[in-house]
């Protein structure tokens, strides 16, 4: 049986103020096209459908359009809520959608009730585990502690109990939205995922999925293998500059039949076409060089993260950069030469030093270079005027 595994659509998300709705619409169209072109038997969407618990109207409209497209595929779709979603809001109408073969699972109580599929090799039980916030669900699931490891273990215990009562040879697939490690080794985060830990340990070990033929994970935005049977699909779009250069993809999974007992699923990453990727790029250098270097002409339409290495903070860098690079979205100032860091308390650093020395240090710290002779003379004049003013006040 062939699955298409995707996750982390984050409908409604913005990228440093840029609207992504049109880009997300094109990606959803591409997902449906891939289902048809690759003759997929079922679509798996592993959480974070929306970017916010209360999504904007544009995001809701886009999801509504997507549901119609998914129903028109005439194959089952199984999707779960993620940590960005409001499970209760997302789950409205779930039973009605199931009649159109769109199985939207958001209730932890349903983890042990699979969506049953079948092909020429027999049945496949697809279990959907929505994002489980430990503090909210550990009692309902009978978990011993309020941790991600404990609640996922309890959820998988229910799944194995149901699977054990099904006909021999029933293959199993689990969808989950969580931070999963392999033997304590963390998978690669990108920086654009929301922290799922509210006290306690954020991750769980991949061993909780032992015995499952394939686990389709969501939450981390980089497509990656955790184990041979446990994979993240990654997000189809980049949602932070930390994902610049990532090969965004959809994950095609071929689940072996019963003629190959214990065979590992074949996992293929289907790269998104270049025209669907966000035009992200990073630039680094002195401001004047970036504004004049002909080699940067190819980036004038890119969405840019710029790191300025000027010793002094340039004047109005964003306005100047946007004259050449209109889609400059983020600037950092990281001087190539960093002044030596002062040690000791503020009082200790000032003790025994004159006002002019302190003013010189301030200019050097802010600008990266000390004052010129002319500037030093002006500083001394200002200090003298300040002293005279203070003396006049004392005598009044």
Domain boundaries, the chain: 2-276, 280-333, 346-395
Predicted local distance difference test score (pLDDT) of residue 313: 85
Phi, psi of 8 (to 5 degrees): 55, 55
User: pLDDT digit string (tens) for 49-84?
Assistant: 999 999 999 999 999 999 999 999 999 999 999 999
User: pLDDT digit string (tens) for 179-207?
Assistant: 999 865 556 666 666 665 444 457 899 99
Angle (CA) 155 40 112, round 5°:
15
Q: How many CB atoms lie within 10 A of CB 180?
A: 26
Residue 255 pLDDT greater than 60, yes or no: yes
Token couple for 107: 């209730």
Residue of higher predicted confidence among 388 and 253: 253
CATH number of 2-276: 3.60.21.10
The three state secondary structure string of the chain is CEEEEECCCCECCEECCEECHHHHHHHHHHHHHHHHHCCCCEEEEECCCECCCCCCHHHHHHHHHHHHHHHHCCCCEEEECCCCCCHHHHCCCHHHHHCCCEEEECCHHHCCCCEEEEECCEEEEEEEECCCCHHHHCCCCCCCCCCHHHHHHHHHHHHHHHHHCCCCCCEEEEEEECEEEECCECCCCCCCCCCCCCCCCCEEEHHHHCCCCEEEEECCCCCEEEECCEEECCCCCCCCHHHCCCCCEEEEEECCCCCCCCCCCEEEEEECCHHHCCCEEEEEECHHHHHHCHHHHHHCCCEEEEEECCCCCCCCHHHHHHHHCCCEEEEEECCCCCCCCCCCCHHHHHCCCCHHHHHHHHHHHHHCCCCCHHHHHHHHHHHHHHHHHHHHHHHC
Instruction: Report d(CA 223, CA 171) in Å as an integer.
Output: 24
User: pLDDT digit string (tens) for 329-378?
Assistant: 999 998 876 555 555 666 776 677 888 888 887 777 666 678 888 888 88
C-alpha separations of 251 from 46, 222, 257, 329 in Å: 12, 12, 19, 30
Residue of higher predicted confidence among 17 and 347: 17
Predicted local distance difference test score (pLDDT) of residue 339: 56
Instruction: Report d(CA 48, CA 81) in Å as an integer.
Output: 6
User: pLDDT digit string (tens) for 212-224?
Assistant: 999 999 999 999 9
The answer to whether 366 touches 313, Cβ cutoff 8 Å, is yes
Q: Read off the pTM.
A: 0.83
Largest CA distance in the chain: 102
Predicted local distance difference test score (pLDDT) of residue 200: 43
Token couple for 193: 């995922």
Average pLDDT, the chain: 90
Q: Percentage of the chain with pLDDT > 70?
A: 89
The answer to whether 5 touches 231, Cβ cutoff 8 Å, is yes
Taking Cα atoms as reference points, which of 349, 306, 299, 308 lies closest to residue 329?
A: 306
Q: Percentage of the chain with pLDDT > 90?
A: 74
> 227 - beta bridge partners?
230
User: pLDDT digit string (tens) for 283-328?
Assistant: 999 999 999 999 999 999 999 999 999 988 888 999 999 999 999 9
Predicted local distance difference test score (pLDDT) of residue 230: 97
> 80 - beta bridge partners?
46, 105
Predicted local distance difference test score (pLDDT) of residue 199: 41
């Amino acid at each position: 049986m062939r699955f298409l595994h995707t996750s982390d659509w984050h409908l409604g998300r913005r990228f440093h103020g840029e609207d992504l709705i049109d880009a997300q619409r094109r990606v959803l169209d591409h997902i449906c096209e891939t289902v048809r072109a690759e003759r997929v038997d079922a679509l798996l969407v592993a959480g974070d459908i929306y970017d916010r618990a209360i999504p904007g109207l544009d995001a809701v409209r886009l999801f509504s359009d997507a549901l119609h497209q998914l129903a028109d595929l005439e194959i089952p779709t199984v999707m779960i809520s993620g940590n960005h979603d409001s499970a209760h809001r997302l789950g409205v109408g779930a039973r009605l959608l199931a009649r159109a073969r769109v199985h939207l699972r958001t209730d932890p109580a349903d983890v042990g009730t699979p969506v049953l599929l079948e092909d020429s090799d027999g049945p496949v039980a697809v279990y959907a585990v929505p994002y489980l916030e430990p503090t909210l669900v550990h009692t309902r699931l009978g978990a011993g502690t309020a941790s991600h490891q404990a609640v996922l273990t309890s959820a998988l215990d229910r799944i194995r109990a149901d699977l054990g009562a099904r006909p021999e040879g029933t293959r199993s697939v689990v969808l989950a939205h969580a931070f999963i490690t392999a033997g304590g080794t963390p998978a690669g985060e990108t920086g654009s995922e929301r922290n799922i830990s509210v006290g306690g340990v954020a991750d769980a070990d991949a061993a909780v999925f032992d015995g499952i033929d394939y686990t389709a994970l969501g939450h981390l935005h980089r497509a990656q293998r955790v184990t041979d049977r446990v994979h993240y699909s990654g997000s189809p779009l980049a949602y932070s500059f930390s994902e610049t250069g990532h090969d965004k993809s959809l994950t095609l999974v071929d689940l072996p039949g019963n003629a190959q007992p214990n065979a590992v699923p074949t996992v293929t990453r289907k790269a998104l076409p270049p025209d669907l990727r966000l035009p992200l790029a990073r630039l680094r250098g002195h401001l004047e060089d970036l504004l004049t270097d002909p080699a940067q002409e190819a980036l004038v339409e890119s969405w840019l993260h710029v790191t300025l290495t000027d010793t002094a903070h340039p004047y109005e860098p964003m306005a100047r950069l946007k004259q050449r690079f209109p889609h400059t979205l983020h600037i950092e100032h990281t001087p190539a030469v960093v002044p030596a860091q002062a040690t000791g308390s503020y009082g200790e650093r000032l003790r025994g030093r004159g006002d002019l020395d302190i003013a010189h240090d301030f200019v050097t710290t802010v600008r990266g270079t000390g004052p010129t002779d002319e500037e030093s003379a002006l500083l001394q004049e200002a200090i003298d005027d300040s002293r005279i003013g203070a003396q006049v006040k004392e005598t009044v």
